[in-house]
Structure 1
Amino acid sequence: MSRMTSIINLREFRTLLFLILLFMVVGLVNSDYLSLQNIDKSLKSSLLYIVLAVGMTFVLLTGNLDISIGGTLGLTAAVCGTILRDGGSIFTAAAASILIGAGIGLINGFGVIKLKISSFIMTLAILSITQVIQVIYTNGKWVENIPANVKGLSKIDIFGINLLTVLVIAGVILTHVFLTKSSKGRYYNAIGDNVDGAVSLGIPVNRYIAYSFVISGVCAALAGFIFVSQIGFVSTNAGAGIELTVIAACVLGGVSLLGGIGTVVGAALGAIILTSINSALIYMKVPAFWNDTISGSLLIIIVVIDALLAFSAHKKAKKVRLNARVLQKEAQD
């Protein structure tokens, strides 16, 4: 019973429950929303955000922010697209994208660790720089004429399941196991929870903060590759504004902006919810200009309700501990 209670109290469980309720409620309005085809489509649409949310989770766990992921995605997608368009191999394009993403992550980490710049300010500046570099690199033009075999990558199925979906889900699971089961993975939570305590325990705090930014940059680069394979072209404003959606997805999935709390599974579920909400509004025939307002309002409501539930659970736990102490004292007397 206690095991079941602990599962129910998990933020990730409540996020999953909301996702299920979302599909059920919208399904009552439009049964087509519950079709396997739409569910598969919603999952495919969220892959980009899931990959970005995984990288962002590493940074958030350490108590920092990475606002530059939109610019990293746009720049790496443009580089990847031009390499493929000009006859380069998929391996070369992916490798170049990953190297660029890792390099941007290193620059972010250097600014935050060595120059002592706020992660928000540092990554915001890098966001602007990467966006300008993308425009210069592409001469202000869209990257088009991507080979058909590249666009076909996102459509490959194995036993009826999309290959890209399988790879992303497997990556989320492996990352979750690393962060929760390995001692080095738990360093990220420890740093965000108490930096001074992490230092006293001998954790190389600066190194792991740098790792978190590099991982975020690499995830943004991988998202750029997914973007090219799914969309088939790269506009000059690709990735613009996506960082806010990703941060919202992480918060929705239970990752704290203060650091030390959260999982990549929760962040991934949050990403699926946000993309599902947008498709739900289409199926409910809500005018497109209401999308951002409704999505933002739902996000605020969900986070507030969850915060109240968490606060209530904390008060109950505190009361139980207090009662236990009283009983223990009475027994001693």
Structure 2
Amino acid sequence: MSRFKNITKQREFRTFLFLVVIFIIVGLVNSDFLSTGNIHNSLKSSLLYIVLAVGITFVLLTGNIDISVGGVLGLSAAVSGMILRDGGSIIVAVLIAILIGAVIGLINGLGVTKLKISSFIMTLGMLEITRVVQVIYTDGQWIENLPAGFKQISQMSIFGINMLSIIVIAGVILVHLYLTKSNKGRYFSAIGDNEGGAVLLGIPVKRYVTYSFIISSVCASLAGLIFASQIGFISTTAGLGIEMTVIAAAVLGGVSLSGGVGTVIGVTIGAVIMTSINSALVYMKVPAFWNDAISGSLLITIVVADVLLTRKASKEAKKERLNARVLQEGVEVSVK
């Protein structure tokens, strides 16, 4: 019973409950929303956001933020798309995309750790740079006529289950185990929780903060490949504004913007929620222009909730430390 109670206290459980409530409410309005096909499509549509959100979680855990992921997605998709369109191999396109993400992530990480630039300012600048580079590289043209074999990757299934979904879910599980069970994986949360304490413990803070930005950008590059495969073309505005949705998904999934708290399991659920909301609006016949307003309102709501929860947890921690100190002093007095 106590174990179940502990589970219900987890932020991930509340996020999952929120997802269930969305499906129930929309299902009452339109029963087609609860069909197996729609649930499967919701998962497929959320893969892009899951990969982005898992990557950005590393940065958020360290107490920083990365809003350049949309630009990295667009640039990586454009470059790899042109390679594929011109007859290049899929392996080369994937490697180039990963290299682009790694280089951009390294620049972001060094800018934050070495030059002491605010992560918000650094990644905002990188977002604008990548957008301009993409337009120059593509000469402002859409990239179309991608090979059929590449576009079929996102449609391949195993026993009726989308293969890409299986790969992404397996990746989420592996990342979750790394962040929660590995000593080095826990460094990211330790840095965000108490950077000064992490330094005293011998954790190479600057190195792992840089790693977090590299991981975030590489995930954005991989998301760019998924985007190109699912959509079949790359526009000059690919990934525009997606960073806000991804951050909302991460925070909704239980990641604290102040750092140190969160899991990729919760983030995955958050990404599915953000995708399901857009799908729900369609099934409820709500005009599409409400999508951004609802996403923005949800982001503000969960950020405020995050601040209140963090403040409450801080007060409870201080109270526990105070009680422990009083009890210790009482024991010392009785001994004397």
User: What is the alpha-carbon distance in structure 2 between the residues aligned to residue 222 and residue 237 of structure 1?
Assistant: 17
Q: What is the aligned partner in structure 2 of residue 252 from structure 1?
A: 252
* Amino acid corresponding to residue 68 of structure 2 in structure 1: S
Superposed displacement of residue 265, structure 1: 1.1
User: What is the alpha-carbon distance in structure 1 between the residues aligned to residue 148 and residue 53 of structure 2?
Assistant: 28
Secondary structure, aligned partner of 1:272: helix
| Structure 1 position 141 matched with structure 2 position 121 | no
Q: Counterparts of 1:53-202 in structure 2 under 5 Å? A: 53-202=53-202
* Amino acid corresponding to residue 114 of structure 2 in structure 1: K
* Aligned CA distance change for structure 1 residues 218 and 318 (closer, same or farther; 3 Å): same
Secondary structure, aligned partner of 1:288: coil
- Spell out structure 1 runs of 4+ moving beyond 2 A: 294-330
* Aligned CA distance change for structure 1 residues 189 and 79 (closer, same or farther; 3 Å): same
> Residues 242-278 of structure 1: CA distance to partner in whole angstroms, max 9, x if unpaired?
1111111111111111111111111111111011001
Given the two structures, how large is their TM-score scaled by the length of structure 1? Answer: 0.93
Superposed displacement of residue 296, structure 1: 2.8
Q: What is the aligned partner in structure 1 of residue 282 from structure 2?
A: 282
Q: Counterparts of 1:264-303 in structure 2 under 5 Å? A: 264-301=264-301
* Aligned CA distance change for structure 1 residues 87 and 166 (closer, same or farther; 3 Å): same
Contact 2:76 2:225 (8 Å CA) reproduced:
yes
* Aligned CA distance change for structure 1 residues 314 and 188 (closer, same or farther; 3 Å): closer
User: What is the alpha-carbon distance in structure 1 between the residues aligned to residue 228 and residue 234 of structure 2?
Assistant: 7
Identify which range, 309-318 or 130-139, moves more after superposition: 309-318
Secondary structure, aligned partner of 1:87: coil
Q: Counterparts of 1:33-44 in structure 2 under 5 Å? A: 33-44=33-44
* Amino acid corresponding to residue 198 of structure 2 in structure 1: A
What is the percent sequence identity of the aligned residues?
70
Q: Between Structure 1 and Structure 2, how many residues are aligned?
A: 332
* Aligned CA distance change for structure 1 residues 306 and 257 (closer, same or farther; 3 Å): closer
User: What is the alpha-carbon distance in structure 1 between the residues aligned to residue 95 and residue 49 of structure 2?
Assistant: 21
Q: What is the aligned partner in structure 1 of residue 224 from structure 2?
A: 224
Superposed displacement of residue 287, structure 1: 1.4
Superposed displacement of residue 231, structure 1: 0.4
Q: What is the aligned partner in structure 2 of residue 18 from structure 1?
A: 18
Superposed displacement of residue 289, structure 1: 1.8
* Amino acid corresponding to residue 227 of structure 1 in structure 2: F
Contact 2:63 2:257 (8 Å CA) reproduced:
yes
Contact 2:248 2:298 (8 Å CA) reproduced:
no
User: What is the alpha-carbon distance in structure 1 between the residues aligned to residue 304 and residue 159 of structure 2?
Assistant: 41
Superposed displacement of residue 228, structure 1: 0.6
User: What is the alpha-carbon distance in structure 2 between the residues aligned to residue 98 and residue 81 of structure 1?
Assistant: 13
